[in-house]
Amino acid sequence: MSKPHWRPAHASDLPAISAIAARIHPDLPESPEVLAEKMRLCPDGCRLLVVGDEIAGYGLSHPWKQHRIPPLDGLLERLPEDADCLYIHDVAVLAESRGGVLRAYIADIEQLARASGLATLALVSVYATQPLWQRLGFRPVTADADLRAKLASYGEGATYMLRDLAAT
């Protein structure tokens, strides 16, 4: 079996991405249209994890504004011209392919952010993954009332996190 690697995602990969999303995020469903829009708006931020000949995961990211969480299962319509972070919307890896692959994805996304002039990565941690993200250099942000209300749609325990690239 070949070594797991990340490659750019393509529109033809949408069925596989949707299938993995349904398995990993049954309580946080997003329509194929929402996933396709992210791929269209920021193709460089969308990657697939390939193991052998199989798609084993994906990562979707795009430029955004810090502390303004995009709506779950909502269309963005456009990216902000004054983006100040690269927002990691979702990373999902099938259980049998986990184990160190996230670090390579974050390294790729960090390069994209730097090349785009963005000095911060942002994400919402779900499913008690906060310790994993902290090991990758992200820190939880104390949420104000507005941010807490937005986080509620991501499920109990969702945490907004940032990683300052100037510190790495």
Asked whether the beta carbons of 45 and 83 are under 8 A apart, the reply is no
Condensed to tens digits (0 to 9), the pLDDT of residues 34-67 reads: 999 999 999 999 999 999 889 999 999 999 999 9
The DSSP letter of residue 83 is -
What is the pLDDT, as a whole number, of residue 101? Answer: 87
Q: Is 44 exposed, middle or buried (0-12, 13-18, 19+ CB in 10 A)?
A: middle
- Per-chain mean pLDDT for the chain: 92
What digits encode the pLDDT tens for the residues 157-167?
899 999 999 87
In the prediction, which pLDDT does 168 show? Answer: 64
The percentage of residues in the chain with a pLDDT greater than 90, rounded to a whole number, is 75
pLDDT score, position 71: 85
From CA 112, how far away is CA 109, in angstroms rounded? 5
Share of the chain above pLDDT 70, in %: 98
Q: Which residues pair with 162 in a beta bridge?
A: 122, 139
Q: Which of 3-7, 25-29, 111-115 has the highest mean pLDDT?
A: 111-115
Distances (CA, A) of 34 to 29, 84, 97, 118, 168: 10, 22, 25, 23, 32
Residue 1 has pLDDT above 60, yes or no: no
pLDDT of residue 95: 80
Domain boundaries, the chain: 4-164
CA dist 57 → 73, 111, 131, 143 (Å) = 19, 20, 20, 29
Structure confidence at residue 98 as a pLDDT band (50, 70, 90)? confident
User: Cβ–Cβ contacts within 10 Å for residue 107, how many?
Assistant: 12
Query: For domain 4-164, which CATH number applies: 3.40.50.300, 3.40.50.620, 3.40.630.30, 3.40.50.1100?
Result: 3.40.630.30
